[in-house]
Structure 1
Amino acid sequence: MSANQNQEVCIFNRITGQSTTQLVIPNRVNYRNKLIDLFVTNPPSGGYADIYVGSRVYMRFPFQVSNSTFIQPPTTKYDGLGGFGFFIKKVLGDESLFPNAAEDEEIVINLSSAATEIDAYYLQCQGGDVTSHNVPGGSDYPIKPFIDIFTYTGTTTGAGQMITNEMVPTGLALLDSNRRISPTKQFIMYTLAVDYVYVGTNYTTYNRLHIYDEENELFTPLDHSGLEINILSGTNDLQYLFNDNNYFKVSPPYTFNPNHLVTLLTDVSVVQGNGSTLYVYLMGIKKTLSGGGG
């Protein structure tokens, strides 16, 4: 042990899930565990991983549908990072946001449905503060990485179809039933992405995505044309491929403030069969302001 008892010393570890739906990093007295990457082999299409630190859901991390790549097995990385590490370190640019557990907390990763295998890289750290839940990355820390997942199934053609279904864990929704941001939350968006089935027996062609903050349309305020999301056209603004370092970078990041009305609309040009579900991912950092819960 170092002569400086407060100096943090970390060891890099790897772990494989205990089942095809769950991975648990057990707590260890006098140590803090930090999840730094996550890998899923054959992830369920449109599924997700809920990452718990102690008893709290730290965040929900999505899986791809057909045209984006959020997560892969350990064989696929960009600059040494899997999809989870890429989001925290490259997109958000803040390693302090990696979830970390105090000595009395486990890190638990639950998948929405079974994959072939779950793997994770983590740091086991000794020294420094191993007890607080309120350090950066801790379960009670008011700033966390956040991916808001919205879904919509377009079954008729037409412009301006509203997207309202927010697919997030209970208690983590950004919007209330009136599509307003909670008065105790602030969301800073670093990127956004879409994914959907666009060929086959049942599919929908989604042409554009419109995002409004109150009355202001983001990205295309002059003509209100919206972002292009037609995958077949080859001009999709919002493809997300972590392994190619390919994503729509919002620079500077855009801040949605408390109580603001957020509206998502899409334009649909083709519906084949029963159509397909559009997944919209708003990706960034959520802050809980004074007086708010986790």
Structure 2
Amino acid sequence: MVNKRIDGPTGTETVGHEWDGIEELDTPMPRWWLWTLYLTIVWGIVYVILYPAWPLVDKATEGVLGWSSRGELAKEMSVVDQGRVTMREELSRIPIERLPENSKMFTQAVAGGRSAFQVHCSQCHGSGAAGSQTLGYPNLNDDDWLWGGDIKAIEYTLTNGIRAPGVEKTRASIMPPFDGVFEPVQLEAVVNHVLSLSGRGSRNALGAQTFQDNCSVCHGTVGEGNRDLGAPRLNDAIWLYGSSHEQLRNQILKPKMGRMPHWSDRLDPVTIKMLSAYVWSLGGGEEFVEVAADPAVKVDAEP
């Protein structure tokens, strides 16, 4: 350009533009910067040749190395899946009652059971397994169990369900309705007696006698319950359908009895085993006790 000139103080050629007496010097780029630019251009060309780069309609150019992030993910997932298969195979061979003895497998089973619980069980028992007294879903964090809280008993319950229609081995118990059975004074007396078993009601002779005549055969003489029958304890502070005087009265007259589906037709045995481990680990799980060889000896933990 005709306006170019050499700047006297710096010895650098100007770009030829001038704005109100201000000129710009045409200072050359540093050599290191130029070489860096050239290297990045070369690196970009090499990358385009070796790796996927240019997007097409349904894929990208593959590159001569054949590498892709999707391919790497597929390999990683394949390794993870194989690990899961191996873990599940090993888990399937461990008897449920021996699982807590294998700390590594038990930890993996609890992790898998936690995930399965959120998918299949949290809708009723809650994400934290606290249940719902209003709806009659039991809390799985406490140590109150209708049919036993050892890991094998829990697996049995999950496999066969509770009052599940058409399942021969389902957990089943029925409390008869006492509507019309008791005189009003008897009803009030027995309600107060049941509440007194947990220290919240007044003991009375009529209620105690009524309880012994009608309720103790299932719930025990002091309200300790009976796991063989699925009869709940009445002498603690844990209640499934509420503990107020009115709620207890209604439960005696028209008892509520919930259902739980049997999961053997929805989940495979290994997933049920993992669920059992997770529920057992929540804090209320009991130690498994081997059944005695003598069939006359009964063990509460046996489902």
TM class, shorter-length: under 0.3
Flag the structure with higher strand content: 1
User: Which has the greater radius of gyration?
Assistant: 2
Higher relative contact order (CA 8 A, sep 6+): 1
TM-score, normalised to structure 2, is 0.24
